[in-house]
Structure 1
Amino acid sequence: MNLTTDLETILTASVPLTVPLLFAGLGEYVAQRAGTFNLSVEGMMLGSAFAAAYGATESGSPIVGLLCGIGAALLIAFVHGNLSHRLQLNTYVVGLSLNVLVLGVTNYLLSTTALDIPGGSAWRIPLLSDLPIVGKAFFVQPWVVYLLVPLLLLIWWVRRRRMGLELRAAGDDPVAGDLTGIDVNARRRQALLFCGFCAGIGGAYLSVFQAGSFTSGMTAGRGYIVIAAVIFGGWMLRGVIGACFVFGVAQGLQLALPAIGYTASPQLLAATPYLLALASLAVLGARSKRPLALGQPFAPVR
């Protein structure tokens, strides 16, 4: 047994599985900080995965596929935002309904569409890709993975500007925010659109850049894992990033452990990420750091 090789194998298997969780997790983090418990992130990822696969098939370009995926997820976010924060419908019911709708629509379209997704090559970053243990896992990836860097910088920058303060006010104290002139429901809709953008990249990555195919329900509950990651991370940016890595490694162990010679029940390994998600929801769901108005509708008082 070579520890260095084993760690490299685990990371190489885990990082690609972590990437879609990170993209969607960053978006869900922003949505929840603004007060929306966004259950439709699963549907956003699934709709994006199909739209990206279809767009890449028709155009022959992974970039066009990515744009189609983002567009589909933004459409779902737009619908969710207007139903929940303009018409004041129950956001939980809206989110779950959208997930069921997207699953049905993608299953129907899949049965009537032939997909032939063009493959995308990995980018090898000079010098960094040769580092032991982490080089191959982190620095030999499809180019879309590195969009995480500017996305993280954007979130970090916005958090320190007026827009970031208004988003947090919408999630923590919408009444006070409204009295100071903030359009709370508009901020919540904008946060959902940002979540759609991020989840769109994550869904497109799944079908076009990782699997090279689309299958029925291919997100396999990743959206719900993302929600658990936000809770597990304590609604803090660094916590959410760490939680996504934990869930990604839990998924990666399904592939890595047999490869390095360890035997474990495949069923248990497959269930591990979902067990972690349930545990985080049960143990950490009532933590005091949650946005105080999370999931609560808001009617302006002005």
Structure 2
Amino acid sequence: MSVEATKATSLSSDTETLVVKDWKNPVIYAVLALVATLLIGLRAPQATISLGISDGVSWFSAEPLRINPQTYGWVASALMLALTLYSLVTAKAGKTLGKWVAPLFWLLFATGLLVWAVGSTASPSLSLVSLLNGAVLLSVPMIFGSMGGLLCERSGVVNIAIEGQLLLGAFSAVLVGSLTKSPWAGLVAAMVGGMLVSALLAVFAIKYLVDQVIVGVVVNVLVSGLTGFFFTRVLEPNASVLNSAPKLPAFAIPGLSEIPVLGPVLFNQNVLVYIMYIVVATIWFALNKTRWGLRTRAVGEHPKAADTLGVNVNRLRATNVLLAGAVAGMGGAFFTLVSVSSFNSDMTAGQGYIALAALIFGRWTPIGALSAALLFGFSLNLQFVLSILGTSVPTELLAMLPYLVTIFAVAGLVGRSRGPAAVGIPYVKE
């Protein structure tokens, strides 16, 4: 046997014996499955949960679903333990877990905790339609914010400034909406406000090559300070004139709104929710089916190659950052044209950062970011619902719930996420 063949055989043998074992998720699953067994299994509440499913539909009537927390708790715990054992065996063999494992495990864990929490309330009855409807509505600013972040980051620009875009969008919407008495003018002003924040981000990050993360944080602090100052000095003393915008209208879509459960949730909403559907669908189509989308993905992955093919990298990045600001600004309009009719200091309450987490959780795809934002909206709504029902869970823990979910997502506990290769790296044409 030749020397080359011997080396090739040795290299092949070494490659075959090199097995990378990832124990992170199996260990996490083991801990959470143990917690679930002790909590939702052994300490499941006695009361039966009543889950209404026929609200909001005139022609459909059904008895509420009855859920026994003890039965569901033990079934969920057993399935989580089985998934944990499967993940341990798979990790020991050096194989990759199937993509279905993480979603199924987290679904069981989340629904198990939900059943346990609702079952421990003073009145364990819940409307599924109301719960989902609130989740969709509260997720609107995060969905718009994550779409804005998607447009930036698929172009190669880190968008930490989503919080500032939402906040200035909310401020601009209430100011212009109050002056013109038109919620539509307020919505346009919100888009302009978001674009102003994006313009700052684009100038410093793209033109002057300042670190994009630092620019985003500074812009957020600047917008927070400016809107807080003008709220105290201008809006609050003249609240009836400058801080009382009319709300955007809401309406039901005939036919679709009569679909049981999903109809009232998806098709009996505020007009901003319908705009959100259009925005998400448009961004998905544009990114995947158009020349602009191909170029956007190219400058986010390999800007030098895109430049070689004639794409003006920095111009496209700047354009997409401005477009992202308009999209995120519409999310800011939710706070002052849908939720309430007035502005308060820092009323976005960190939802821009949660939107960024949704983008990461959703693996930088429109549908993934949408799904993640809906999950965060559900967790945000859940704390309000459980507080109203009078759960024994401490209110401080409920207030932490959306942010705990965010930390889990960003930490990669639902799988690895790989962003665009050139994101955060300024491009200088040679």
1:236 is displaced (CA, Å) by: 2.0
* Counterpart residue number, 2:134: 13
TM-score under structure 2 length normalisation? 0.67
* Counterpart residue number, 1:4: 52
> 2:360, 2:417 within 8 Å by CA — same for their partners in 1?
no
The one of 152, 155, 173 equivalent to 2:283 is 155
The one of 199, 219, 226 equivalent to 1:98 is 219
Structure 1's 288 and 147: CA in aligned 2 closer, same or farther, altered over 3 A? closer
* Counterpart residue number, 2:336: 207
Question: 4+ residue runs of structure 1 moved beyond 6 angstroms?
Answer: none
* Counterpart residue number, 2:348: 219
> 1:106, 1:216 within 8 Å by CA — same for their partners in 2?
yes
Q: Aligned partners of 1:210, 1:26: CA distance in 2, in Å?
A: 20
Aligned 1:1-302 pairs, distance under 5 A: 1-5=49-53, 6-111=127-232, 112-113=234-235, 114=239, 115-159=243-287, 160-260=289-389, 262-283=391-412, 287=416, 289-301=418-430
Q: Aligned partners of 2:368, 2:225: CA distance in 1, in Å?
A: 34
Listed one character per residue, the Cα deviations across residues 228-255 of structure 1 (whole Å, up to 9, x for unaligned) are 0111111122211110111110101012
Q: Aligned partners of 2:161, 2:392: CA distance in 1, in Å?
A: 36
1:271 is displaced (CA, Å) by: 1.1
Task: State the one-letter code of the partner of 2:369.
Answer: V
1:156 is displaced (CA, Å) by: 2.6
Q: Aligned partners of 1:257, 1:284: CA distance in 2, in Å?
A: 25
TM-score under structure 1 length normalisation? 0.94
Q: Aligned partners of 2:157, 2:223: CA distance in 1, in Å?
A: 20
SS at match of 1:297: coil
1:171 is displaced (CA, Å) by: 0.9
> 1:231, 1:284 within 8 Å by CA — same for their partners in 2?
no
> 2:314, 2:427 within 8 Å by CA — same for their partners in 1?
yes
Q: Aligned partners of 2:277, 2:163: CA distance in 1, in Å?
A: 23
1:166 is displaced (CA, Å) by: 1.0
1:285 is displaced (CA, Å) by: 11
Q: Aligned partners of 2:335, 2:395: CA distance in 1, in Å?
A: 22
SS at match of 1:123: strand
Q: Aligned partners of 1:284, 1:49: CA distance in 2, in Å?
A: 33
Aligned length: 301
Higher RCO structure (Cα 8 Å, ≥6 apart): 1
Q: Aligned partners of 1:66, 1:285: CA distance in 2, in Å?
A: 35
Task: State the one-letter code of the partner of 1:246.
Answer: L
Task: Give the root-mean-square deviation of aligned CA atoms.
Answer: 1.8
Gaps of 5+ in 2: 1-48, 54-126
Structure 1's 123 and 263: CA in aligned 2 closer, same or farther, altered over 3 A? farther
Listed one character per residue, the Cα deviations across residues 197-226 of structure 1 (whole Å, up to 9, x for unaligned) are 111110011211122221110111111001
Task: State the one-letter code of the partner of 2:246.
Answer: P
> 1:13, 1:255 within 8 Å by CA — same for their partners in 2?
no
Gaps of 5+ in 1: none
1:129 is displaced (CA, Å) by: 2.3
Q: Aligned partners of 2:204, 2:380: CA distance in 1, in Å?
A: 34
Q: Aligned partners of 2:400, 2:299: CA distance in 1, in Å?
A: 36
Q: Aligned partners of 2:347, 2:271: CA distance in 1, in Å?
A: 22
Task: State the one-letter code of the partner of 2:345.
Answer: S
Task: State the one-letter code of the partner of 1:225.
Answer: I
Determine which structure has more spread, i.e. the larger CA radius of gyration: 2
> 1:14, 1:251 within 8 Å by CA — same for their partners in 2?
yes
Identity of aligned residues (%): 35
